[in-house]
Amino acid sequence: MTAAEYKRSICRHLLHAYMLKEEQIDIYLPRFLDSLQTYLEKLQQPLQTGNFRELRKVAHTLKGALLNLGLHELADIAYTMEKAAGTEDTTQNFQAMYRQLHNEISSFTGADPANPAADTASPNRHP
């Protein structure tokens, strides 16, 4: 999806699921998008340190934020990360999941798509 399509989808979801008025969406949407970026940043440390417990916790929070915005496909990725971290499944490529989330979320939040944390880690490194 393009950035404009993501934003339209989010706005439709907020309008219908929470009955927010367009003026309210205009006020809150930037805050919601900033929160997504914050959760992505918080994922970086447990990915680098291998802290499964913290990774599960942050992935869970990100999943909820994505669901609140109606972004079910992205929430599924965060859920997969959360579940795998909860079982300490070292066969999962957490870095690939993170990169996918980062690339998609950055595409519509307006954040810089550069991601030094993922670039410096081994592509197959697990938490």
Residue type, 117: A
pTM, full prediction: 0.86
Contact between 102 and 121 (Cβ < 8 Å):
no
The CATH architecture of the domain made up of 3-109 is: Up-down Bundle (1.20)
- The pLDDT value recorded for residue 68 is 96
pLDDT higher than 60, residue 120: no
Residue type, 41: E
What backbone torsions phi and psi does residue 51 show, to the nearest 5 degrees? -85, 95
Interval 17-62: pLDDT, tens: 999 999 999 999 999 999 999 999 999 999 999 999 999 999 999 9
The span from the CA of 63 to the CA of 117, in Å, is 20
Listed by start position, the domains of the chain span: 3-109
The span from the CA of 33 to the CA of 40, in Å, is 11
Interval 60-87: pLDDT, tens: 999 999 999 999 999 999 999 999 999 9
The span from the CA of 32 to the CA of 35, in Å, is 5
Residue type, 58: V
